[in-house]
Structures are given as C-alpha cells and as structure tokens.
Structure 1
Amino acid sequence: MTHLRSKRLPHKGRTLAAVTALIASFVVGALTPAEAAQPQEAADTAGSAAAPRWTDRPHGFASLDGGTTGGAGGKVVTVTDQAALARYAAAEEPYVIRVAGAIDVAPFGSDIVVTSNKTIIGVGDTGEIVHGELHLGPGTSNVVIRNLTIRDSYVEGDWDGKTTDFDAIQMDSADHVWIDHNRFEHMGDGLLDIRKDSRYITVSHNQFKNHNKALGIGWTTNLLTEITIDHNWFTGTKQRNPSADNCAYAHLYNNYLSAQVADGDPVWTYGNWARGRTRMVIENSYYDGVQHPYQADATAELVQRGSVLKNVTGRQEEWGTAFDPRDFYAYRLDPAAAVPALVTRFSGPQKSLGANTVLNVPGDYATVQAAVDAVPAGNDGTVTIRIAPGTYRAKVLIPANKPNLVLQGTGQDRSDTVIVHDTPAANGGSNGSATVRILASDVTARNLTFSNDFDEAAHEVNGEQALAMKTTGDRIVFEDTAFLGNQDTLMTDSPKLDVISRVYIRDSYIEGDVDFIYGRATTVIERSLIKALSRGSDSNNGYITAASTWKDNPYGFLITRSKVVSDAPAGTYHLGRPWHPGGEPNAVAQVLFRETELPAAIKSSPWTDMSGFSWKDARFAEYRTYGPGSGVTADRPQLDDAAASTHTVAKYLAGTDGWAPHRGRAGH
C-alpha cells in the first residue's frame, strides 16, 4: 500500500517477553467464563487416548551410532509406478519416497534396488509393492521402509522357497535400517531377510502373514548384527519368527505369534530361535498355539521374561545371561496380556502414516525455506514442517504449487520460535518486504511468531510499510500465532480482485499502527488480541484495518470475540478505512467488529476516508462491541440481530466447499 503518514516517534523497542506478558494479561478477553474454560484443541489432541503409539523416529538399535534418518534432508516425491520408484530408490542423493497406490513390479519377482539415505513410505494404508522385492545391497546405509504392503511373489508349489529367491525385503551387509509398520505376505522365499553382518537394525510394528519363512537374520559366522524386534504380528507363518543366527544382540519384545501353520513338521515349525552364538533377550511377548515358542542352540544364550504362553508345545529353552538391552537404549514394555489387542490394532500399514510427512528444522533441513523447497510441486499429502525454538532471520516463500503444508513451532510458547526479517516496502513493495509469503492454499501455521522488525525511526525511506506476513492462498489457518510489525503488518490477499481467498486466525496476537490488518481476502480473526501501537500523536495514531474486499464478495474482515488494546491516547485511533488499490472502484471494503472489546484509544467516529474514497460507501459495521472505545452514534453503523445472523464465522468461511476450520469451537 502507498499512503502518506506522519513520522512516528523513535521506536522504544518491543521484546517478545513484553508481548507475551501482554497476551497473558489478556487472558481470554471477550470470552465468557464457560468459553474460557474450554481446552484448546491442540491440548485435546496431545492428551487423546487415540494418539499414535509410535513416533516418526526409530527406536532400538536403529537409533544408535548416529541414528537412522532415511531420506531426511532430501526431496519429497510421490511415486505411482515402478519406473519412478526404481529411479528415486536407486538415486545417489537422499529422497523421501511416498508410495501411493499399488505398484505392480515386472518381470515377476524383480528387485527394486534401494541405495543409502532413503525413506520409502506408503501413503496412508494404500501403498503396495506387488510381485517385487526391495533389495539393499552391501554397503547400503541409513534406510527407512515404512507403512507398505509387500505381497504376492509366491510361486505355486514352491512352499520351501527352493526355486525362487523373491523376498519382500532383502539386505546384505547393510546398516542403520528401520523396517516399520509394513505388511509382508505370500512371497517367494523369505518375507524379510537380514543377512551378512547387517547392523543397527530395528523391525517394529510389522505384520508377517500367510507364509512359510517369516524373518531370517544372519547367515554369517561373525557376531556383529544388533537388532531390535518389537510389536510385530507373526500369523499364519511356519518358521523364522524369527531365526536369529550369530547375532551379537537380538532384543525381542512385545511380539505376538498366533495361528502358526500346523503341517506336522516336528523341527522346522517354530517361533523364536537363537542360533549359533546369538545372544537373545525376549520380553513380554505372547505365544498362542505355537510349537517350540522359543529355543536356543547350545552355543547361544537366551533370556526370556514376562511372556504369555497359551496352548503351546515343544521347546521353551533359556540359558546364559545374554545382555541387558537397557545398557544400549531406553524402551517401554507393554504388559504381555495386552499384546494381542495392541499388536493386531497398531501393526501393519496405518492411515495416519505417510499421509503426513514430517520434516524437522533444524535436523532434517537447516532452514525453513530448505524444508519448503523439499516439498514436491503439486503436493497431495500433508507435510508438517516442525520448527524448533529459535530465531530464524530469513524470508520464507511458500509457492502456489506447494499446498497442504503445516508450519508447526515446537516450543512451549509461540514466542519461542520466531521467523523475522527487516525489509521495508521501499525495497520491493509488499511482496518484497514480507518476511513470510504464503501463495499456496491449505496452509496452516501454529505456535509461531512472524515479525518484520524494520526500524522506521532509524531510516529515512519513502515506503515504510514492512509486512510480517502476506497470504494469497485459500483456506489458510493461523492458530496460536503472533504477527509483529508497524505499518502493514498482516496482509491477507487473493491472487486477483474477483478471486476469493479465505483466512482463519484464532487465539493469536496482531500488532501494528497504520493499516496493519489489510487486503481483500475473507478473513476471520477470532479469540485474539490486537494491539494498536501509538505513533506518538495526540490526534491520529493510525488505522487497524484497510480492507479492499471485492464488491461482489459479501464477506471481508470479521473480528469477533477478541480484544483490542492500545498504548495510544484516548480518541486517536481508527477502526479502519477503505483501501482501493490503484483507485480500483470495485474494491469495496467490508469490515465487521463483532462482540469485541475496544479501548479508549478508538475514536468516537472510528471510520475514515482514504485516497478520495468515502468510508460511507464501504461496508463498515459493529455488532455488540463493548469497552471504553465502543458506542452507538451516527458515525458507527451497527448490525441488527437479523443481519448479524448472516455474519457469523461459519458464513464467512464456508465458501462453496463448506470449509469449517472453526468447527468444534463454541459459539458458532
């Protein structure tokens, strides 16, 4: 925006601590005691009994010696065919490869070679590899394979797998591998073969089903392999559940073995077998109808504790001291009696996995922009960028072709994680000055502070506007966020005048002085604190809003159930003025302050003209505002109850697609 304004007095400096204290003093402002008692949705989710029982980081041995991160730090791609899967899996650079739908591998039983630094993850529970194998050759390191179904390379009549070697996953001399939440079924030889001194392996929450040989480990005389096997379901399998040959350390806990194939074989039908010189620890597992539930060669050591055995026969052997897994890593044991219910429910592919890709800043990526850049164009699944506490002095651009992003601050407070820059509009207009620009649709930001700390008092420039945030995408949500600036702090816009974009802001903080909430997007600000900063004037300290709503859009800005505060003198602030960019006559501002507390700084005639356009031709109104800055006069249009019933949060946001990000909140 371009407009003349008086020079503000020297900036005294705002600290995030001061802002946090101010927000704390707000408490819940305009809310009733009943509304104030409602818990936040984030807290509800965090404490929900339905919260996942796993994380996106490996545990057990795969977490040691530097950990296993897979393709973190690389591009995120989605594949739907064999050629793309094979190309990205074998690439030299890291990739997070999302498998969407079933990929039929040809020729039948062929390998998909997987090289180092890869994550291969099914999208929801749809990702399948059919008639093919994932193969990790010697030297492959740092691989995550999650949430896939790998099935059906079985050759009829080859029950013992003697004529084919079509495993689901086979690795030779690999290290740092996490196999998690997969389903393996009906393959040509073993379901999972971990061979030849592979190290730092974790196999968790998988299903091994309907097959002869489930999970084999070893085939070496060395004693190097360290492996954690937990919360897996072996059902309808005969042997190798697992077979662990010459493992330095094999830790098995909370596994469920059931419905074992019963073909009368007295030796090669079994559960867990510690072979060679393996040191094995079994804890709190559940064996139901299993022949030889656990056994050990005379040269091996096996410790078992806490397991449940039901309808079992044959060998149950323990000797030696093996090792203490807690000397290597921490872990949580579930009660053995709970294992069948837990494992059948939470093993195998999950709808909640893969659909939400998690990128960490720092960690996976050094900067927020690097994480955004890793998201594929046309992204069709939620990507959450988790931003650790700290101050990130850099601009961020989310392009229009990268939708479905979540920016999530991970600190205890939104002031812990700050994205800030100091560019004024004199150096590139609103686009150039904005610290963060969101051009994409379906973007959410939570628990973050966005700031433009350009110091007006220290610079003589023509164009002091300095945006903290500019959006043009549709269906943008800000929750528990802060926007810090002076002139033009927050611009919610759309790609062009007659295109409607929607923005929902709740439980947030916005501060500024001149037109600091502006633009043409339909914007709802709910349950938030707005601070109108003083410019040191005793007559005009600024304007809270400058809407430029398209004339055919009935909904512009709704500020509801919020609180406005100010350090400006009484009667020196405007609620808003109508912005007609470039003199555009079809930009007819619509602003409603509803059920919001107003401070004494608000003028008794709170709306004013702009650039030759009368405020009386705009669509400005109040409804049930209160506080020392409220009032009913000829210069303060008021909605009646009937009109107010059509100006609700739901009406503003619904559009043609029924968007309702506020759903579940009281008072709608």
Structure 2
Amino acid sequence: MEYNCSLVTVVVVFLCGFRVCFSLTSDVHVKNFISWDDIKVDEHQTRLSDSRVNHNRSRVIVVNKNGGADSVTVQGAIDMVPENNTRRVKIYILPGIYREKVTVPKCKPYISFVGNAGQMSNTIISWNDKASDKDSNGINLGTYRSASVTIESDYFCATDITFENTVVQTPGEPGMQAVALRISGDKAMFYKVKVVGTQDTLLDEIGSHYFYQCHIQGSVDFIFGKSRSLYQDCVIESTAVRSGAIAAHRRDSPDDDTGFSFVNCKINGTGRIYLGRAWGNYSRAIYSNCYFDNIINPAGWTDWNDPLRQKYNLHS
C-alpha cells in the first residue's frame, strides 16, 4: 500500500535547514557545506603506489586491506588526518570486509569515506559489539559504545560503503542493542550507503544529517536518536521476526527543533512493525509520500506504554 500525508510545513522546515549545509556546487574552498565533489574519487587516477595525491585540491588516502596502499585499515587512514583539519580529506576504501571498530574524532572534520561507485555492498566496515559486552575494565559497553563506526566530527560524508554490526538480536534478551553507525557530528551527508544491524542499528544521535538513497536495515528501534535528519529516497528494511519498530526519536523539550523526516522512502521487509515508538514526551517522526509493504502494525505508532506521551508527540 502507499501512504501519503500532507505535512508540507514540517518537511519544508527540514529542507530549508539542510539547504544551508548541503550544496550541489563544487567549490571545495567553501568550508561550510558539503558538495558532490566531496564524495567523488577518480578511481583510475588513484595509484596505490603513490596515493597521497590531490584531486580537486583535496587529499586522498587509499585503504586496501591487502596492502600496497596508505593503510590496511580504515582507522589507520583516519589517524593520518591531522587534528583540526581545515580541508577535505577523502578516504578511498577499496572493496573488502574491514573487521574493525572505527572512530572519527571530533577534532577531525571534513572527512569523506568513499567506496567504489555503485558497489556499496562490496566495501564493508564491520564489528560485533553489543550493549551487554564488557570493556577492558569489566564495565558494560552500553548502547552508545557498541557502535561499529562512530562519527563525532562535523562535515563528514560517505558514499558506497556498508556499516555493519553482525550481532543478531535474541528477542526478549536484555543488552542486545548493537549499533552499526553512530553519528554525533553536525552537518553530515550519507549517499548510497547501507547500514545493517538488528536492534538499534543507526544511532542518529545529534546534529543535522541528510541520508539520500540509503538502505537501512534492522528490527527494533533501528533508527533512533535526537537529531534533525532527513531521509530521502531511502529503503527502510525490517528484519523483525514478529514485532518491531522503525524510528525512536527523542526531544527533551517541545522547543527542540529536531525530528526524523522520511520522504519518498520505501518501507519493506518482514514482521509486524510500528512506524515508531515515542522515546520520551516530545518524540517527532514524519513519513511523507512513502510506500509501505503490508508489514505495518495497524496502530501505526506506540507510546512505549506511557499514555501521557500521546499528548505532545508528533507522529504522522
């Protein structure tokens, strides 16, 4: 079935906010937006024997798990970027499964992850932590620290990459939250990326983010956080065996200008899922002009067993 809702005001607010952050121009000297050039690498001109080259005056670092490049790991390439970086650095990741836990720290903005064009499933960053796992001090990692990939910096962008957490949720078992991608930097863009997990797949934590033509997969609350994000032309795939939920957005105040907006997305998969769960009293998530397979719970939304949350939440 296809579901349309007239939520012009809210969608326009999202789009106007993003227009400041994301541009279709190619002036790499402008630091305050992301352009399409920031996610492009000329694969034919990048030589593994001399990959510290400039394309459009942006540095390119090549990662090849088999050697012969600047780094054999993604984290190794990130470590090569100087702190307080002021120009675009493109990390070109050759196909392969990179089994590592990756963090882009706050002090390293303007980083791009770029895979081979049209091959998002061939370049995978994968790990398998979950919330109940222990760190070296014997303390539970918790949901946030379970992330396979954490992006703390501003102006990050990625294309043709899969972010994966391979933990398989056991229904009813506590501590199974397992984040594949956590994004807490501001003004980030994801184009044709895949985010794969089960429970709590994508932690869209804080900031303004744009997801375009992406594929996001999970079962329970698999897109969650406090951010102000637009999901456009994305595939949202449920892998729930029985019940589940897509979005769990949270606002701490009715004045918070945040929320999830899903525009022209396709929602498919398995199970009987809610469009969202009200995480707190002011949750906000909107679906506009989206296509739904016959997997949506007829109730549409759930108040997380707290009827008071129905008063202020905006779910449409």
TM range (shorter): 0.7 to 0.9
Deviation at 1:412, TM superposition (A): 4.1
1:359 to 53, 61, 70: 61
Partner of 2:155: 442
1:467 to 155, 179, 190: 179
- 2:314 is paired with a residue whose SS is strand
Partner of 2:215: 509
Partner of 2:33: none
1:596 to 270, 286, 290: 290
Deviation at 1:467, TM superposition (A): 0.6
Distance 1:618 1:467, change over 3 A: farther
Partner of 1:485: 197
User: Would the aligned equivalents of 1:388 and 1:411 in 2 still touch at CA under 8 Å?
Assistant: no
1:546 is aligned to 2:241: no
- For 2:224, give the aligned amino acid: Y
1:555 is aligned to 2:267: no
Deviation at 1:55, TM superposition (A): 3.8
Partner of 1:402: 108
Matches within 5 A, 1:220-619: 352-353=56-57, 356-362=58-64, 363-410=69-116, 412-427=118-133, 428-457=141-170, 462-494=174-206, 501-535=207-241, 537=242, 541-551=243-253, 552-568=255-271, 572-580=272-280, 588-610=282-304, 612=306, 614-619=308-313
- For 1:481, give the aligned amino acid: V
Distance 1:405 1:613 in 2: 43
Partner of 1:69: 50
Distance 1:470 1:618 in 2: 27
Deviation at 1:534, TM superposition (A): 2.3
User: Would the aligned equivalents of 1:545 and 1:577 in 2 still touch at CA under 8 Å?
Assistant: yes
Distance 2:172 2:297 in 1: 29
Distance 2:111 2:220 in 1: 30
Deviation at 1:443, TM superposition (A): 0.1
Aligned length: 268
Identity of aligned residues (%): 28
Which ranges of structure 2 fall in alignment gaps of 5 or more residues? 5-23, 25-35, 134-140
User: Would the aligned equivalents of 1:502 and 1:521 in 2 still touch at CA under 8 Å?
Assistant: yes
Deviation at 1:609, TM superposition (A): 1.3
Distance 1:461 1:606 in 2: 25
Which ranges of structure 1 fall in alignment gaps of 5 or more residues? 1-29, 31-40, 58-66, 73-118, 122-349, 495-500, 623-668
1:142-189 CA distance string (max 9 Å, x none): xxxxxxxxxxxxxxxxxxxxxxxxxxxxxxxxxxxxxxxxxxxxxxxx
Q: Which structure would you say has the larger RCO, counting Cα contacts within 8 Å and 6 or more residues apart? A: 2
- For 1:432, give the aligned amino acid: R
User: Would the aligned equivalents of 2:127 and 2:165 in 1 still touch at CA under 8 Å?
Assistant: yes
Distance 1:531 1:443 in 2: 24
Distance 2:130 2:173 in 1: 9
Distance 1:613 1:421 in 2: 37
Distance 1:360 1:524 in 2: 30
More displaced stretch, 609-618 vs 382-391:
609-618
1:467-516 CA distance string (max 9 Å, x none): 1101111011110011111100001112xxxxxx1110010111111111
Deviation at 1:553, TM superposition (A): 2.3
Distance 2:123 2:199 in 1: 22
Distance 1:411 1:374, change over 3 A: same
1:27-54 CA distance string (max 9 Å, x none): xxx9xxxxxxxxxx8xxx89xxxx99x9
The TM-score normalised by the length of structure 1 is 0.38
Distance 1:613 1:520, change over 3 A: farther
Matches within 5 A, 1:63-142: 69=50, 72=52
Distance 1:608 1:564 in 2: 18
User: Would the aligned equivalents of 2:169 and 2:199 in 1 still touch at CA under 8 Å?
Assistant: no
- 1:534 is paired with a residue whose SS is strand
- For 1:617, give the aligned amino acid: K
Distance 1:613 1:442 in 2: 39
Distance 2:49 2:62 in 1: 14
Distance 1:358 1:564, change over 3 A: same
Distance 1:472 1:406 in 2: 15
Distance 1:505 1:607 in 2: 23
User: Would the aligned equivalents of 1:578 and 1:613 in 2 still touch at CA under 8 Å?
Assistant: no
Deviation at 1:613, TM superposition (A): 5.7
Distance 1:613 1:471 in 2: 30
